[in-house]
């Protein structure tokens, strides 16, 4: 689990649940939805990624990797969205977001972990590769390379700056289709991915769908996924975990037009 040790007295003295997040971040969406599904009171701390607030010294004390989201829960730091989701599930057990059947629990965890595994190489590669916008400037990359210990993250942002290799975005799109085809099959005779009620598996993947759909990704082949998303949108956690934090529509329109132009 992504527990971060700290000697910072200010952090250790913090009471309640504090979520450090970014509006459009799908990893942040998962954590917000989990907190909302559990009816938790939490204090919002928006991290402005465009201004590189995630790389400022005060935030690196919370998450040395400079990633969002992160939480501080009564002085305990937890990073990585899948670890935060499981932490909240273990500490705040009601309502449960895991099935009672142990085998189903393991399957839920498989889907939660898969969402994290494909986040960088598939989801973000497709998004940034399609838009054609660098995630960082050359100056930012120099600083980022010095403070970021994760070589895979450094490699990703460098590719974003230089331009992704030919075919990499296409392969990412193909993998996204494969994953959602599998989800579509699981939803053939049920409302939720695993079990009879919403679980961490649904929470792990609804942000991926929401973000990709807003960017114009073609989900027309995945009819059951579309029904599932429609059902999830009815939940207050969707509004409070996703819709509430989205940027102005004009920002998305520009991106969608770029993607349509790219694939037209």
Residue 163 confidence (pLDDT)? 81
Ordered by where they begin, the domains of the chain are 3-91 (3.40.30.10), 102-263 (1.20.1050.10)
Rounded Cα–Cα distance for residues 213 and 210 (Å): 5
Residue 179 confidence (pLDDT)? 98
Residue 138 confidence (pLDDT)? 80
165 three-state secondary structure:
coil
Rounded Cα–Cα distance for residues 219 and 226 (Å): 7
State the DSSP H helix or E strand holding residue 43, giving kind and residue range, or none if neither.
Answer: strand 42-46
Rounded Cα–Cα distance for residues 127 and 217 (Å): 9
Higher pLDDT, 205 or 24: 205
pLDDT tens across 173-231, in order? 999 999 999 999 999 999 999 999 999 999 999 999 999 998 889 999 999 999 999 99
Q: What mean pLDDT comes out for the span 231-238?
A: 98
Residue 248 confidence (pLDDT)? 65
**What pTM does this model have?**
0.90
Q: What mean pLDDT comes out for the span 60-80?
A: 95
Percent of the chain with pLDDT over 90: 66
């Amino acid at each position: 689990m992504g527990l971060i040790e700290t000697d910072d007295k200010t952090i250790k003295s913090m009471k309640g649940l504090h979520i450090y997040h970014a509006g459009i971040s799908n990893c942040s969406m998962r954590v917000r939805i989990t907190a909302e599904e559990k009816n938790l009171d939490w204090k919002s701390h928006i991290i402005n990624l465009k201004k590189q607030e995630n790389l400022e010294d005060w935030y690196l004390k919370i998450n040395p990797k400079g990633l969002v989201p992160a939480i501080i829960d009564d002085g305990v730091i937890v990073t990585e969205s899948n670890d935060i989701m499981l932490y909240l599930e273990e500490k705040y057990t009601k309502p449960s977001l895991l099935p009672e059947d142990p085998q189903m629990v393991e399957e839920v965890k498989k889907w939660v972990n898969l969402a994290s595994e494909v986040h960088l190489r598939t989801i973000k590669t497709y998004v940034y590769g399609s838009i054609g916008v660098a995630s960082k400037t050359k100056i930012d990359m120099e600083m980022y390379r010095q403070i970021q210990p994760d070589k895979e993250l450094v490699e990703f942002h460098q590719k974003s700056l230089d331009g992704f290799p030919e075919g990499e975005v296409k392969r990412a799109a193909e993998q996204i289709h494969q994953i959602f085809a599998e989800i579509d099959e699981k939803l053939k005779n049920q409302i939720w991915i695993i079990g009879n009620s919403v679980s961490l598996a649904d929470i792990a993947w609804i942000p991926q769908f929401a973000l990709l759909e807003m960017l114009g990704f073609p989900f027309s082949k995945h009819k059951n996924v579309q029904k599932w998303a429609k059902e999830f949108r009815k939940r207050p956690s969707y509004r409070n975990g996703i819709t509430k934090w989205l940027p102005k529509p004009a920002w998305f329109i520009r991106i969608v037009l770029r993607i349509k132009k790219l694939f037209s």
